[in-house]
Amino acid sequence: MEKTAQNEDLRVRRTRKLLQEALIELTVEKGFAAITVRDITERAMVNRSTFYRHYLDKYDLLDQYMDEVYTLIADAPIQPGRAARGEPEVPAGLLSLLRHIQQYSDFYRVMLGGEGDARFIERYRQNAERRYRYLLNLLYGPSAGDNPDLPPLDLRLSYASAASTGAILWWLEHGQAWSPERLAIWIGQLVSASVGLPLRIGAEVDPQPSRAAAFNR
C-alpha cells in the first residue's frame, strides 16, 4: 500500500505502465533474451534514461512487474470457479493463477518456453513447489508426505512443480483450447498422483503474505 498505490505520482504510474506493456509486447515478438533496454524504451516512447530511473535493467523490470502481478492475484477475491456436479473440486489458487496466465497467454508461452528465461522458469517452479508444500502441510499436517514406498517427498515435490510448468506450457502452446477450470482439475489430478496424496481443494490460499517476494532473480 505504498509504492504501487494510487497516491503515486501520475507520471510515474504512467511511465511504469508503458514500460511494462512494452516489455510484454516485445517478449512476445522476439523473446526475452533478445530484448534490449533501448527496444523497450522506444516501444514505450519513454526516454532511455527514464527507464534507469525506475529499473536496474530488464530483469528488474520483469521482477517488479511479476511482483505486482502476484500481489494482484493474491489480493484478488478468489472467484470460486463453480465446479459442476460430480466434478472434482477445483484448486482455487491455481485457478486464479491460470486465469491470469490465460490473460497474458502470449507472454507466458514465450517466457516458459525455449525463448524465455531460465531464472523466470526456475522461480516459477519454486513458487509452485512452495505452494504445494504449503498445501500438503495444510491438509495433512507436517509429516504427511512420508511414505517409504514412494520416492522422497522433496523429490516428488520438485518433480511435480517442474511438471506444472510443462503442463501450462502445453496448454499455452495449444491455444488454451481448454478452460482454466478444466486444466486446473487435470493439473490437480496429475500433481496428486505425483505427490502421492490428493490435493484437490477449494480453500487453497496463496501462502505469500500479500507482497509476493521477488519472483525472478
Q: How far is the CB of 5 from a second copy (least distance, A)?
A: 26
Please give the Cα distance from 202 to 105 (Å, whole number): 24
144 binds, among DNA, a second copy, none (CB under 5 to 8 A by kind): none
Question: Which stretch, 6-14, 82-90, 138-146, 208-216, contacts DNA (CB under 7 A)?
Answer: 6-14
Q: How far is the CB of 106 from DNA (least distance, A)?
A: 21
First to last CA, the chain: 23
Question: Which stretch, 5-13, 97-105, 114-122, 131-139, contacts a second copy (CB under 8 A)?
Answer: 114-122
Looking at the Cβ atoms of 54 and 119, the one nearer to DNA is 54
* Interface map 8-37 toward a second copy (x if CB under 8 A): -------------------------x----
> Taking a C-beta distance cutoff of 8 angstroms, is the pair 88, 185 a contact?
yes
Angle of helix 10-30 versus helix 37-44 axis, rounded to 10: 120
Q: How far is the CB of 102 from a second copy (least distance, A)?
A: 16
Residue labelled with grid coordinates 516501444: 43
Using the rule CB under 8 A, is 174 a contact of a second copy?
yes
**Considering Cα of 134, then 140, then 146, then 149, what sign does the dihedral take?**
negative
Using the rule CB under 8 A, is 194 a contact of a second copy?
yes
Mind spelling out the 3-state secondary structure of 135-201?
HHHHHHCCCCCCCCCCCCHHHHHHHHHHHHHHHHHHHHHCCCCCCHHHHHHHHHHHHHHHHCCCCCC
Q: How far is the CB of 183 from a second copy (least distance, A)?
A: 8
Q: Which residues sit at the interface with DNA, rule CB under 7 A?
A: 7, 9-12, 14-15, 36-38, 45-50, 52-54, 56-58
